[in-house]
Amino acid sequence: MKIYYKALLAFILLVTTVQVAHSQRLKDLASIQGVRSNHLIGYGLVVGLPGTGEQSPFTEQTFRTMLANFGITMPANLKPKIKNVAAVMVTAELPAFTKPGQKIDVTVSSIGSSGSLNGGTLVQTFLKGLDGQVYAISQGNLVVSGFGVQGADGSSVVQNTPTVGRIPNGATVERAVPSAFGHGDYLTFNLHNSDFTTARRMADAINDLVGPKTATAMDATSVRVIAPRDIGQRVSYIATLENVEFVPADAPAKVIVNSRTGTIVIGKDVKLQPAAVTHGGLTVTIAANQQVNQPNPFSEGETIVIKQAIIDVAQDDTRMFVLDTGASLDDLVRAMNEIGAAPGDLMAILEALKESGSLHGELVVI
């Protein structure tokens, strides 16, 4: 196990010491303000299920409403058996500039007690935006990767998620989302990761290509650029700008700790101040042992059960290492390798170093 942990720590060191001083394209670092996707949502029914549907009040109400739309009226006192029907939520993402007639993928999720959507067909469902308008209509056969099997004794086996499915190209766009892309004299680029240095470098790169005062860094996120009003020229202009390359700023000094998976990522700019670290523990094991005390023959005594506790104390072989002034991440990882610390131990040491003020960098636990 120590070899595994050493390999893991060596990998962390390798990742965090790689220099990221190469140029990147503007399109990989920023997006145009107002050019974005929109989320759509709808409520519908999945039919044709092999007995894995549900018998819930809202499913029954929706089923009655669907039949009424086709001119079929059910008696009020008749409760339909609809175990092959399930109520679902249908969600989709409408990309920017998508036009009517184009197809988009949809995700269908059960909202009731349906055991599986496998083999079902989504009935025509309206997909609405935040404004309540219908932007797409979805219908089709579901593709479900999961399955579930349940025995008569209550035992069950579930693989993946059988209550969620997808319909590739399952929705037809009926309405386009208005865009302000062709309006005004300016375009604004928003960085994916806010940074003043990166914003200034982006503006400088655009000005070097197009001309002085073309781009202005507004803040740590936004860079405003003068753009032509003609829509054809604007498209060509953006196509040129998005391929401009420049060197973004180094990321802030951070240590990211995932407490669930044990993953640790340490930024290359994390610095350490002088500190002495020792890590180890006292292991106390308590075991209960029962003994039976039998009375002597013909003594008319009673058998007594005596409980005894066995306590074992083990002291780990702890070692101390010292981080001198100007110690780097390389020094820390090397010291951790020498004492054979596991990732969980490294988490505890990093948290202790941060609390003592010896770790210069933001410690983020997720």
pLDDT band of 365, cuts 50, 70, 90: confident
User: What is the sign, positive or negative, of the torsion defined by CA atoms of 58, 60, 61, 65?
Assistant: positive
Cα dihedral 21→23→28→32 (10° resolution): 110
Count structural domains, the chain: 3
Please tell me the number of Cα atoms within 13 Å of 203 on its side-chain side: 23
Q: Do residues 223 and 310 both lie within one domain?
A: no
Please answer whether residues 222 and 188 qualify as being in contact, where contact means their C-beta atoms are separated by less than 8 angstroms: yes
The CA distances from residue 242 to 32, 221, 298, in Å, are 10, 16, 100
Judged against a pLDDT cut of 60, whether residue 190 lies above it is answered with: yes
The mean pLDDT value for 221-232 works out to 92
Residue 54 domain flag: yes
The mean pLDDT value for 219-223 works out to 93
Nearest to 113 by CA among 175, 163, 182, 168: 163
Q: Do residues 101 and 164 both lie within one domain?
A: yes
* Cα(205)–Cα(225) distance, integer angstroms: 12
Position 188 scores a pLDDT of: 93
Residue 87 belongs to what domain range?
38-173
Q: Do residues 293 and 342 both lie within one domain?
A: yes
Residue 115 domain flag: yes
Q: Do residues 65 and 191 both lie within one domain?
A: no
Judged against a pLDDT cut of 90, whether residue 260 lies above it is answered with: no
Q: Do residues 284 and 235 both lie within one domain?
A: no
Q: Do residues 165 and 54 both lie within one domain?
A: yes
Q: Do residues 328 and 283 both lie within one domain?
A: yes
Nearest to 190 by CA among 224, 227, 215: 224
Q: Do residues 230 and 139 both lie within one domain?
A: no
The mean pLDDT value for 287-293 works out to 60
Q: Do residues 336 and 355 both lie within one domain?
A: yes
Residue 28 domain flag: no
Which of 31-45, 103-117, 220-234, 345-359 has the weakest average pLDDT? 345-359
The mean pLDDT value for 67-81 works out to 79
% of the chain with per-residue pLDDT over 90: 36
Residue 44 domain flag: yes
Who has greater pLDDT, 348 or 335? 348
Judged against a pLDDT cut of 70, whether residue 5 lies above it is answered with: no
